[in-house]
Amino acid sequence: MRRSLKDLQLNDDGRNKMRAAGRFNAQLLDFLRPHVKAGVTTESIDKLCHEYTRDHGHIPAPLNYHGFPKSCCTSVNEVICHGIPDSYVLADGDIVNVDITSIVDGWYGDQSETFLIGDVSQEARQVTQCAFDSLYKAIDAIAPGSKITEIGHAIVGEAERYGFGVVREYVGHGLGKEFHQDPSIPHYPDPRFNRIPLEPGICFTIEPMINVGRYQGIVDPLDNWTVRTIDGKLSAQFEHTILMTEDGPEILTTTEEGPRPGHQF
């Protein structure tokens, strides 16, 4: 039975539990950061993610989620999302999104970053910049009571400046004691969400996926997870877990060492 959004509004205790989950997840990403470089396999990043999470007494949420075989997602170049870590060796010129989710005392923290590996093309730099700026423009666009569609308007507006596509099939989502819950957070202005407000206590992700070319993706039929751009062009993504408070959106997954708003890639 689906719960109403009012039922999903967190009290002070729930908010603090989500803050703790977000802090650990950000700490994990900072731990992985120096290891995301040319010459390492995506599988080695996954191994570090798994071991660090378990060594701290927490659970890597992706592992065995609907059969997903690894503890994080690593999406390289034309992969939009859900890339499975494997023997692929990161090389100069690649971009890779590392998407991590941790379960901390039963509560979920979720975020991702796209990393530039060595000397990348101007196009790779631009799509990464667009995804990064789109995330923060969406966060800046909302306040208590904002409608969900305001997120999509902000993201599409930024992507249109570059002539890039915004992925529609994969969206942000509510987060709490479940990995994916209401509300869904489209990254384009879906009119079905025109009247759905983001009230204080609602926790959710914003995670725009930006494609250099067409916005559509196709799922790899061999693993049923990896989603690639339909035209083979690059894709980039950034994600934060957001708690709407009475004073506005609070980012729960800010890293100590990652890029800040205004960063130029």
CATH number at residue 159: 3.90.230.10
- 208, two tokens: 């725009």
Q: Is the pLDDT of residue 153 over 90?
A: yes
Residue 209 forms beta bridges with which residues?
237
Q: In the structure, what pLDDT confidence band is assigned to residue 143 with cuts at 50, 70 and 90?
A: very high
What average pLDDT is seen over the chain? 97
| Four-residue CA torsion sign, 141, 144, 149, 152 | positive
Q: In the structure, what pLDDT confidence band is assigned to residue 6 with cuts at 50, 70 and 90?
A: confident
In a domain, 125, yes or no: yes
In a domain, 192, yes or no: yes
In a domain, 262, yes or no: no
Percent of the chain with pLDDT over 90: 97
Q: Is the pLDDT of residue 101 over 60?
A: yes
Q: Is the pLDDT of residue 4 over 80?
A: no
Q: Give the number of other CB atoms < 10 A from CB of residue 210.
A: 31
Q: In the structure, what pLDDT confidence band is assigned to residue 2 with cuts at 50, 70 and 90?
A: low
Q: Is the pTM of this model over 0.95?
A: yes
First to last CA, the chain: 44
- The pLDDT tens digits of the residues spanning 19-73 come to 999 999 999 999 999 999 999 999 999 999 999 999 999 999 999 999 999 999 9
Q: pLDDT at position 215, please?
A: 98
Q: Is the pLDDT of residue 7 over 50?
A: yes
Q: Is the pLDDT of residue 95 over 80?
A: yes
Q: Cα–Cα distance between 147 and 107 in angstroms, integer?
A: 25
- The pLDDT tens digits of the residues spanning 200-256 come to 999 999 999 999 999 999 999 999 999 999 999 999 999 999 999 999 999 999 999
Nearest to 254 by CA among 25, 35, 5: 25
Q: pLDDT at position 1, please?
A: 39
In a domain, 54, yes or no: yes
In a domain, 100, yes or no: yes
What value does the mean pLDDT take over residues 113-118?
98
Q: Is the Cβ–Cβ distance between 49 and 68 less than 8 Å?
A: no
Q: In the structure, what pLDDT confidence band is assigned to residue 80 with cuts at 50, 70 and 90?
A: very high
Q: Give Cα separations from 171 to 43, 94, 117, 218, 265 (angstroms).
A: 25, 24, 26, 15, 24
Residue 116 forms beta bridges with which residues?
95
Structural domain range at position 57: 6-251
Overall domain count for the chain: 1
- Burial of 163-192, coded b for 16+ CB within 10 Å and e otherwise, reads ebbbbeebbbbbbbbebbbbbbbbbbbbee
In a domain, 1, yes or no: no
In a domain, 257, yes or no: no
What value does the mean pLDDT take over residues 157-181?
97
In a domain, 258, yes or no: no
